[in-house]
Structure 1
Amino acid sequence: MIGKIGSGGFSEVFKGIDENNRVVALKFPKIKSSETISENVFKRFLDEAKVWSKLKHSNIVEVYSYGVKPVPWIAMEFMDGGSLDDKLKNGPLNLKDALNIAIKISDAIYFAHHHGVIHQDIKPKNILFDRQGNPKITDWGLSKVLLEESSITEFFEGTILCAAPEQLDPEHFGGVDWRCDIYGFGVTLFWMVTGRPPFYSDSIYTYLKKVMTEEPQFPCEINKYIPPELNDILRKLLAKNKENRYEDMALAKNDLQSLLKKI
Structure 2
Amino acid sequence: MKHYHGLPITPATAAYEAVKQGHAFVSFAHKQQLGVAIEVCQSFAIDNGAFSAWKSGNPVQDWTEFYNFALDCMKYPHCDWIVIPDVIDGNEADNDALLAECPISKNQAVPVYHMHESLERLERIASDYQRIALGSSGEFSAIGTNEWWERMNQIMNIVCDKDGYPLVKMHGLRMLNPAIFSKIPLESADSTNIARNIGIDQAWKGNYMPPTKEMRAAVMRSRIESVNSANQYIAQPVSKQLCIFGGAA
TM-score normalized with structure 1 length: 0.28
Whose RCO is larger (CA < 8 A, sep 6+)? 2
Larger helix fraction of residues = 1
